[in-house]
C-alpha cells in the first residue's frame, strides 16, 4: 500500500499565488459520485471560514453534484445521496447572503424506479435545484459565468476518469480560462 502526501486538489489552489487567490471571485465545484468526498472537505472548510477571508467563501460559489439515488434492497425506499443533506444545509445557510452567491445543483442520474424520463426537475428555495439527468456542457458554462470574469475563477472537478477527463478538457478550452485554474482529481 502506498500513500501520497500533498497534492494540488486543495483550496485555495496552490497553482495560484497569494495575490491571485485573494482576487478569486468565483469557485466552481463539479463532482460525480464519490468524487464529492474531497470537494465536500473544501466546501466545509470554506463554510466554516465564512465570507471575505482567504480560503473562505468567495463572492460566487457553484456546486454541481451528479450521483445515483439508490434504493434500499429490503424496504425499497430511496436512500439519501452522500452529503445531500449537508450540502442542502450549507446552501440554506448562504441563501440570500449579501456577499456570497452560493448555488447548489444536484443531478440525479437515475430517476426513481418507473419514472425515467418523466421526473420533473425541482427548483428548491432560491439557491438549490435538483435535475434528473447528467451534467451537460451548458451547465458547466453557466457555472463558469461570463467570459470576462473568468480570470478570477477556479474550477475543481472530481469523479470518474471519463467524466473528469471530458469536463477538464472542455473547461480548459473555455474562453477566458487558464489550465492552472482547472484542477482535478480522479476517483474510481
CATH code for the domain in which residue 176 is found: 3.40.50.80
- pLDDT classification of 114: cutoffs 50, 70, 90: very low
Considering the domain boundaries, does residue 6 fall inside one?
no
Considering the domain boundaries, does residue 104 fall inside one?
yes
> In Å, how far are 42, 148, 184, 185 from 177, measured between CA atoms?
21, 10, 15, 18
Considering the domain boundaries, does residue 34 fall inside one?
yes
3-state secondary structure 37-74: HHHHHHHHHHHHHCECCCCCECCEEEEEEEECCCECCC
Predicted TM-score (pTM) of the model is: 0.91
Considering the domain boundaries, does residue 2 fall inside one?
no
Considering the domain boundaries, does residue 10 fall inside one?
no
Work out the percent of the chain whose per-residue pLDDT is above 70. Answer: 90
Number of domains in the chain: 1
Q: How far apart are CA 51 and CA 88, in angstroms?
A: 18
Domain that holds residue 182: 18-71+79-186
Considering the domain boundaries, does residue 1 fall inside one?
no
Of 110 and 163, the one with more pLDDT: 163
**Coil, helix or strand at residue 135:** coil
Q: Which grid cell sits at 40?
A: 465536500
pLDDT in tens, 147-158: 999 999 999 999
Considering the domain boundaries, does residue 126 fall inside one?
yes
56: pLDDT strictly greater than 70: yes
Q: Which among 50, 59, 65 has a CA at the least distance from the CA of 100?
A: 59
Q: How far apart are CA 64 and CA 62, in angstroms?
A: 7
Work out the percent of the chain whose per-residue pLDDT is above 90. Answer: 78
Considering the domain boundaries, does residue 150 fall inside one?
yes
Q: How far apart are CA 140 and CA 17, in angstroms?
A: 25
Q: What is the mean pLDDT of residues 26-49?
A: 96
Give the per-residue pLDDT at 125: 67
Residues contacting 57, CB < 8 A, separation 6+ = 46, 47, 49, 50, 51, 94, 99, 100, 102
Q: Which among 171, 166, 36 has a CA at the least distance from the CA of 105?
A: 36
Amino acid at each position: 500500500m502506498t500513500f501520497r502526501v500533498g497534492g494540488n486538489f486543495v483550496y485555495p489552489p496552490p497553482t495560484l499565488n497569494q495575490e491571485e487567490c485573494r482576487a478569486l471571485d468565483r469557485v466552481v465545484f463539479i463532482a460525480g459520485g464519490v468524487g464529492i468526498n474531497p470537494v465536500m472537505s473544501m466546501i466545509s472548510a470554506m463554510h466554516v471560514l465564512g465570507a471575505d477571508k482567504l480560503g473562505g467563501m468567495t463572492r460566487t460559489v457553484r456546486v454541481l453534484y451528479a450521483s445515483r439515488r439508490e434504493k434500499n434492497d429490503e424496504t425499497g425506499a430511496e436512500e439519501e445521496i452522500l452529503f445531500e443533506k449537508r450540502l442542502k444545509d450549507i446552501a440554506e445557510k448562504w441563501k440570500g447572503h449579501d456577499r456570497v452567491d452560493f448555488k447548489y445543483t444536484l443531478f440525479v442520474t437515475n430517476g426513481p424506479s418507473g419514472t425515467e424520463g418523466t421526473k420533473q426537475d425541482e427548483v428548491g428555495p432560491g439557491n438549490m435545484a435538483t435535475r434528473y439527468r447528467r451534467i451537460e456542457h451548458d451547465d458547466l458554462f453557466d457555472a463558469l459565468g461570463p467570459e470576462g470574469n473568468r480570470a478570477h475563477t477556479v474550477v475543481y472537478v472530481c469523479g470518474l476518469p471519463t467524466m473528469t477527463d471530458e469536463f477538464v478538457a472542455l473547461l480548459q478550452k473555455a474562453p477566458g480560462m487558464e489550465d492552472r485554474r482547472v484542477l482535478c482529481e480522479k476517483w474510481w
